[in-house]
């Protein structure tokens, strides 16, 4: 059923005929209710204030004009409400998605501009939805564990209701009582019931899906003053019939024993006290919108809940955490299931930043982010932030080195980002991250000037691109992206951490050993993982060194200690980009290309070349984005080097073709992988000058490796040597250490020294 | 021999002690000569004018300040003149290169700022070179057919002299007669002799190398008023002993029979009357500097030569041609041996644009390029262009569709660029392009918004990156980049055009069949190649269609007609970038990856997947840089599709890993490949919206293919059909055609119709 333009034209005609009557209806409606509308993201007071300031706040006015143009174009194009059919990326999916976004925008335009055409448009569209909705069976696409009606999953139906509720709130008073009763009876209440009590496996969880479900129900409840629905939104369904071992289609558990549910539980559990959301920044971005928009609505409608103070102000902290989880360009670090390119320019982050500014003490650093976003919410929060910018209160948002703890109480590992002027080292030692987590304990990625140097693969999915599996998760997400070999960390015996089993992974987490960024010359983070492989302890320590002894000063030093009670094979991959310039060892290109293994992600790697490691030090020099990099690693002649490329056993070409190389140690119990990663030069294809194209590191050597201590020396090309010593067993800051290595005495205080 | 800073300090001390004496010496010197200095790129009058305007012309002042800072830093660092040892990219090469660039800059600073420290620096460096040069044997690197002394090839020695001459000109009057005599005797004259009469195989050619050699000798001749050397520069050595079949290390012939040589011959022959330089834009850019800087010097010193009027003003036309051979971002199209990323931001183009402006009628469109370059020559030409910008005379440089004919008389084929708002189609049907030419008759590449869509591989070399074969041409340049299979054109029986033989290729060229861009709805270029494969005629016609019948309006239509007297195998590759989204046919990924062939470049291609072509139309849909593209091609079920990737038999990883796919026809005499290339949608990783992700073309069909006519129909997804008919045998614009196809009558005038 596609409504044509004449529907709109007729509506306008009817409206014109009865405009005066309408105005009276609004007055009647308003007077006979206790509550007032709008009251979710707009308030009567706020609207008054906005109207008074129109034309004087540049960023607000600019946004308003852009939104007006967008909505007017849609109104002119006419209402289209197709019968649901497609996966994301397909026509019907994208159209219903567009509809809810435009509904919300038309709502604020109606309030701010006081132009009834927007109210008419919203009412007409709602009426059509109210006609369609009762006739809808489950969505014909059957892939989801919780199929929706408008969309293939309840998740997207919930998106619809979160946005549509705001539009309803904006025209609530303008509608007649009969119209409201009709819409609520045939559309909103059945809609809310469908995504809650008819889909407890979707609604009664701790997951970003459920957050959307809870908020959808909560938002419409607030508009309708429906306490029953509001209670369900806040505290979940009292009873459901979810069995303990049921999983969703991403492989996550639906519900654990004694699991608290509802909006507040979703705030309690996935957020750490630092504001880190356990699924990672890509999903935190996705979840922040419902979290914050509902918080804003609750603050307006139920201020007694003090939602922004909940859990020591975690919602505002979460926005700060999220901004810190982005690179220099504002792109989120793509850990876990994350699509690359998502950034703080997304609409969710516009909302998040504006709300955090308005309700979080007007932190003027947020103004610089809003300025870059170049748009604001069309509500009190947007007015507030646009005013701050107008008044030149902008301060730069400075991203420092930071640790964000994971887990409801902050005791399930963490993610650390160590930064200097250009480099950003992302070190992940979190918990599993629910169903979107990857099996990559102690993995890292590295950025230079906002560009990936050593990458995290991200997810195997093309969100909303229908050609690729309906825009949904691809099977390579499980067989490649989630597997440990897809990450820059150690894999034992070609088996993923926790054997790639969610049941085990979700019960465990890594532990911080130390995080010390006080000395900008040597910023250190260290963590241990004791459960990924029973009988094996992984302990990785990463430094960002800034030392004038070395050309370009900055490099990463990586000490990866593995100790086991058995002989194992250890693989440590580095997924670089760009082109190999030179290696200091002979490698043999393969004439027939085979896969590296047959399972756990190894089946997706082509072996492009093989080599025996050099006796002392491997050096691998490459050029990427016109920057020269070298990895220098202390090796044994028994180590193997494997040059790989992704894309094997990928019959639909779902994976990117990315290069990597792996350092492999066979038949080893204990090992210390020591590696320096060094950006050291540049090339200009315009001047054709290359500067510092070779590494400044001549040698890296392990000078001591015991249970208690790891010590390495780094010698530059002028034969100057620096030493780093780590105590592996005592991270006490006050502890004094005395050590003799190669007849030299070392004395220091605290868990490490660099000199 | 590395001079340390104390040399500089001593010089400054001596200078301070005898500053007054010096001033007298200049006066004496000036008075006792007819000629005056400076007179190459700066003139006495010009310097006076510049000094008078200092501080009032922003872009000139800005450039001056930047150059001053650069040179002052080098003066502070001290003079370094290492014993020659390295290839390009290596330390000694880069240092001598830096020296000549700084010498030239120090020269203009001395003249403009009137600060003797610059003259002292130049003199001291020259003195050191005069000490070193007589002791130098041939450069120890033996790869070149014309080894230099300071550098591994005479070419770079010539670079040195072209720049150093300008510095010498600037301090000529300031030096004492004795100093000049010493420098000329021990450095400049032996230097000029070495690169001319001692290396006739380098000097007496038509080639960009020789241009540099001729200009080097000519520039120093002009400074010294040495007519003997000037004549050699302009007209070459009268006698040499070059055998007719000798080749250089790139495989080009040194000299053909009755070959004219010298600077003027190098202007006559490689430039077409349109200003196209036969080696292509990358080398044209490289050669433009000596051509133009010498022209400027000749215009100042020998105005009677009227060099800028030579060959109907070809030098100025050449700058315009070169700018037109760049994409939207200013990057040159990388045909032939070209390194990607070279652009009109290079120092050579700053010189070219300023000179073309000053001596070419002050074309105000050039001001917009100079503005983007954000720097100018520090001479009369730079002053002139900076003044134009200051006076707001800037007009946009508009690049239209253009054909640039090749060959000394413009009769050896051409290169055409067809443009619309975003797309740029580069179609090459030139002559061989001397030793830097590739065997790629009728090949094309496509750009969207300045980004490569279907690429030309470019060269296999990393210019000045020592790690990669000393920064020189890599053997894969011959075995891959030059071969036909590396390009988007037809390969017959896995053999390159002209059998990849330079002797044959350099005697032949393609011919334009038609070029018509009058109707912006259908811009057409068509050319024939009759010699690449004896017995086979290649005729390719490319259209840039702009028709609202199709989503996004624009697409390329490619009709590639091949007719032969024998059964052949034809391969037509398309080298795309980005990731395959979907194909409308089943393809089989290969589990063990092998090479496509064993020679002529086929040995460098991995076969990633194989398919039988669909019965009617192949559709291949991919995503690159967040734009969706589809190639639709009329196929026969007997056609094969081969998915390939470069990088096989590449033991040093010298090649990029780029994907492509090949349409193959076996056992075929005559065939018409009909293909549409269509950008049709976009994706945003921030909003996660995909727009128009599918092709708007439902079917492409060959409805007629005879000797005289090729006709194709293109049907969009709404079943609207357009027809294109080409007469293959008569390109007369007045000719009337009547044709019946499938019972429909077509009547039109001219070689083609689209309706």
Residues of B in contact with A688 (CB under 8 A): 339, 342, 463-464
CB B641 within 8 A of CB B607: no
Instruction: Determine whether the interchain pair B462/A687 forms a contact, defined as Cβ–Cβ distance below 8 Å.
Output: no
User: Nearest CB to B468: which of A581, A593, A686?
Assistant: A581
- From chain B residues 298-357, the ones with a CB under 8 A of any chain A CB are 339-343, 345-347
B467 → closest Cβ in A464, A581, A651: A581
Cα–Cα distance between A704 and A724 in angstroms, integer? 10
Residues 6+ apart with CB under 8 A from A32: none
How high is the pLDDT of residue A133? 98
Q: What is the pLDDT of residue A248?
A: 76
**Which of A283, A427, A429, A709 is labelled catalytic?**
A283
- Inter-helix orientation angle A347-359/A281-301, to 10°: 50
Cβ–Cβ gap A593/B592 under 8 Å: yes
Give me the pLDDT at residue B592, please: 87
What pLDDT is stored for residue A31 in this prediction? 37
pLDDT at residue B248 in the model = 76
The rounded percent of chain B whose pLDDT value lies above 90 is 89
- Please check whether residue B580 is in contact with residue B661, taking contact to mean a CB–CB distance below 8 angstroms: no
pLDDT at residue B22 tops 50: no
Report d(CA A602, CA A594) in Å as an integer. 11
Q: List average pLDDT for each run of 10 residues in chain A, which is 755 residues long.
A: 43 41 37 68 94 96 97 97 92 95 98 97 98 97 94 97 98 98 98 97 92 98 97 92 74 76 94 96 95 97 96 97 98 98 97 97 98 97 97 97 97 98 97 95 98 98 93 96 98 98 96 97 98 98 96 94 98 97 96 94 97 96 98 97 97 97 98 97 94 95 97 97 98 97 97 97
- Distance from the Cα of residue A745 to its chain's centroid: 47
* Interchain proximity A688–B653, CB inside 8 Å: no
Question: Which residues between 680 and 699 in chain B have a beta carbon less than 8 angstroms from any beta carbon of chain A?
Answer: 683, 685-690, 693-694
Contact call for A342 and B685, based on CB within 8 A: yes
Q: Are B456 and B334 in contact (CB under 8 A)?
A: yes
The model's pLDDT over B688-709, given as tens digits with 9 standing for 90+, comes to 999 999 999 999 999 999 999 9
A252 against B32, higher pLDDT: A252
Q: Cβ separation of B589 and A683 shorter than 8 Å?
A: no
The answer to whether B467 contacts A694, with C-beta atoms less than 8 Å apart, is yes
Using CA coordinates, name the residue in chain B closest to A620: B467
Residue A102 has which token pair?
Answer: 């435009």
Task: Answer whether B687 sits within 8 Å of A340, measured CB to CB.
Answer: no
Task: For B658-685, write each residue's pLDDT tens digit.
Answer: 999 999 999 999 999 999 999 999 999 9
Measured between alpha carbons, how far is B210 from B222 in angstroms, rounded to an integer? 18
Residues 80 through 99 of chain A touching chain B, CB cutoff 8 Å: 89, 94
Hey, are the CB atoms on B591 and A347 less than 8 Å from each other?
A: no
Do the Cβ atoms of B281 and B332 come closer than 8 Å?
A: yes
ipTM for the whole complex: 0.90
Distance to chain A for B156, nearest Cα, Å: 14
Alpha-carbon span A495 to B565, nearest angstrom: 59
Give me the pLDDT at residue A475, please: 97
Residues on chain B touching A686 (C-beta within 8 angstroms):
341-343, 345-346
Give the closest-approach CA distance of B98 to chain A in angstroms.
Answer: 10
Nearest-Cα distance to chain B for A26, in Å, is: 36
Of B214-218, B259-263, B451-455, B531-535, least confident by mean pLDDT is: B259-263
Task: Give residue for tokens 């709502």.
Answer: A107
- Report CA B337 to chain centroid distance, whole Å: 8
- Do the Cβ atoms of A407 and A476 come closer than 8 Å? no
**pLDDT number for residue A163:** 98
Contact A621 B345 (CB under 8 A): no
Residues A81, A97 contacting (CB under 8 angstroms): no
A354-363 per-residue burial string, b: 16 or more CB within 10 A, e: under 16? bbbbbbbeeb
**pLDDT at A17 (0 to 100):** 40
Residues of A in contact with B685 (CB under 8 A): 339-342
- Interchain CB distance below 8 Å, B689 and A94: yes
Residues in A closer than 8 angstroms to B688, CB to CB, are: 339, 342, 463-464
CA distance A151 to A93: 6
- Find chain A residues with C-beta within 8 A of B347's C-beta: 687
Provide the shortest C-alpha distance from residue B60 to chain A (in Å). Answer: 20
Identify from B693, B694, B695, B717 which residue to disrupt to test chain A contact, counting A C-beta atoms within 10 A and taking the largest count.
B693
Q: Do B623 and A657 touch (CB under 8 A)?
A: no
Q: Which of A340, A589, A683 sits opposite B685 (nearest CB)?
A: A340
- State which residue of chain A sits closest to B285, comparing Cα positions: A686
Residues of chain A with CATH 2.70.98.70: 402-754
Helix (H, G, I), strand (E, B) or coil at B677: strand
Can you tell me the distance from the alpha carbon of A190 to that of A193, in angstroms, rounded to the nearest whole number? Answer: 5
A6 near B CB under 8 A: no
Nearest CB to B579; choose among A609, A653, A694: A653
Considering only the beta carbons, identify the residue of B464, B609, B621 that sits closest to A689. Answer: B464
Between A94, A581, A657, which is nearest B657 by CB?
A: A657
For residue B514, what are the CA distances in angstroms to B403, B429, B546, B728, B750? 10, 12, 19, 10, 10
Q: Would you tell me which residues 583-622 of chain A have a C-beta closer than 8 angstroms to some C-beta of chain B?
A: 588-589, 591-595, 606, 608-609, 621
- B residues 449-508 near A, CB within 8 Å? 462-468
Sheet (strand B659-668) strand order? B491-492, B568-574, B659-668, B640-646, B605-612, B588-589
* Count of CB atoms situated within 10 Å of the CB of A237: 17
A vs B: CB pairs below 8 A? 117
Question: What is the third-level CATH fold of A402-754?
Answer: Beta-galactosidase; Chain A, domain 5 (2.70.98)
CB contact under 8 A, A462 and B591: no
Instruction: Please pick, among A37, A96, A207, A436, the residue that the annotation labels catalytic.
Output: A436
Give the integer Cα–Cα distance in Å for A157 and A148: 6
* Residue A353 vs residues A289, A325, A329, A402, A450: alpha-carbon distances, Å: 10, 14, 16, 19, 21
Check CB contact of A374 with chain B, cutoff 8 Å.
no
Residues of A in contact with B343 (CB under 8 A): 686
Give me the active site residues of B, please: 283, 436
């Amino acid at each position: 059923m596609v409504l044509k333009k004449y529907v709109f034209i007729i509506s306008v005609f009817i409206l014109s005929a009865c405009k005066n009557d309408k105005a009276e209806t609004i007055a009647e409606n308003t007077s006979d209710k206790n509550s007032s509308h709008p009251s979710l993201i707009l308030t009567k007071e706020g609207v008054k204030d906005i109207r008074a300031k129109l034309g004087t706040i540049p960023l607000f006015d600019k946004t308003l004009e852009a939104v007006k143009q967008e909505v007017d174009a849609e109104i002119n194009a006419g209402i289209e409400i197709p019968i649901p059919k497609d996966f994301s990326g397909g026509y019907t999916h994208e159209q219903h998605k567009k509809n809810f976004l435009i509904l919300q925008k038309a709502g604020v335009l109606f309030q701010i501009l006081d132009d009834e055409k927007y109210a008419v448009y919203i009412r007409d569209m709602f009426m059509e939805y109210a006609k369609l909705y009762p006739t809808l069976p489950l969505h014909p696409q059957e892939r989801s564990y919780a199929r929706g009606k408008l969309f293939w999953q309840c998740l997207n139906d919930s998106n619809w209701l979160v946005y549509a509720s705001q539009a309803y709130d904006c025209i609530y008073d303008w509608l007649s009582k009969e119209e409201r009763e009709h819409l609520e009876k045939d559309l909103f209440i059945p809609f809310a019931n469908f995504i809650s009590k008819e889909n407890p496996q979707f609604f009664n969880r701790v997951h970003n899906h459920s957050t959307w479900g809870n908020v959808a129900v909560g938002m419409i409840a607030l508009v309708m003053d429906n306490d029953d629905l509001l209670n369900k939104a806040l505290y979940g369904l009292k009873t459901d019939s979810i069995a303990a071992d049921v999983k969703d289609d991403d492989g996550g558990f639906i519900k654990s024993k004694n699991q608290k549910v509802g909006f507040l539980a979703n705030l309690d559990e996935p957020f750490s006290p630092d504001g880190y959301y356990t699924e990672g920044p890509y999903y935190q971005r996705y979840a922040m919108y419902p979290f914050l928009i509902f918080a804003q609505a609750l603050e307006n409608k139920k201020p007694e809940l003090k939602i922004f103070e909940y859990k020591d102000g975690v919602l505002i902290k979460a926005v700060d955490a999220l901004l810190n989880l982005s690179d220099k360009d504002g792109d989120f670090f793509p850990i876990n299931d994350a699509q690359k390119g998502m950034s703080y320019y997304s609409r969710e982050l516009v909302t998040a930043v504006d709300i955090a500014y308005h309700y979080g003490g007007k932190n003027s650093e947020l103004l610089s982010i809003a300025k870059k976003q170049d748009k604001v919410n069309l509500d009190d929060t947007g007015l507030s932030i646009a005013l701050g910018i107008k008044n030149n209160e902008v301060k730069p948002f400075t991203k420092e080195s930071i640790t964000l703890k994971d887990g409801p109480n902050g005791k399930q590992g963490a993610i650390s980002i160590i930064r200097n002027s250009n480099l950003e080292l992302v070190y992940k030692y979190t918990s599993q991250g629910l169903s979107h987590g990857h099996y990559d304990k102690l993995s890292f990625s590295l950025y230079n000037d906002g560009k990936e140097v050593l990458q995290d693969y991200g997810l195997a999915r093309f969100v909303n691109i229908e050609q690729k599996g309906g825009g949904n998760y691809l099977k390579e997400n499980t067989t490649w992206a989630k597997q440990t070999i897809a990450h820059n960390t150690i894999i034992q015996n070609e088996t993923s951490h926790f054997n790639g089993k969610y049941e085990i992974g979700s019960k465990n987490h890594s532990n911080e050993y130390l995080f010390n960024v006080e000395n900008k010359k040597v910023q250190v983070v260290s963590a241990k993982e004791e459960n990924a492989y029973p009988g094996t302890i992984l302990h990785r320590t990463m430094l960002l060194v800034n030392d004038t002894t070395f050309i370009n000063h900055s490099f990463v030093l990586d000490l990866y200690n593995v100790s086991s009670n058995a002989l194992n094979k250890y693989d440590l991959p580095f997924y670089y980009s760009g082109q190999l310039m030179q290696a200091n060892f002979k490698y043999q290109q393969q004439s027939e290309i085979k896969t590296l293994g047959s399972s756990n992600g190894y089946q997706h790697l082509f072996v492009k070349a093989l080599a025996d490691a050099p006796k002392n030090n491997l050096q691998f020099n490459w050029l990427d984005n016109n920057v020269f990099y070298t990895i220098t690693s202390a090796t044994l002649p028994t180590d193997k080097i494997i040059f790989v490329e992704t894309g094997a056993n990928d019959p639909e070409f779902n994976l990117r073709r990315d290069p990597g190389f792996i350092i492999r140690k066979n038949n080893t119990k204990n090992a210390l992988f020591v590696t320096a990663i060094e950006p050291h030069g540049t090339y200009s294809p315009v001047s054709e000058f290359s500067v510092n194209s070779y590494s400044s590191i001549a040698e890296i050597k392990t000078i001591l490796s015991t249970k208690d201590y790891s010590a390495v020396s780094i010698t530059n090309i002028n034969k100057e040597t620096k030493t780093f010593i780590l105590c592996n067993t005592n991270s006490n800051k006050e502890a004094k250490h005395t050590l003799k290595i190669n007849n030299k005495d070392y004395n220091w205080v605290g868990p490490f020294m660099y000199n």
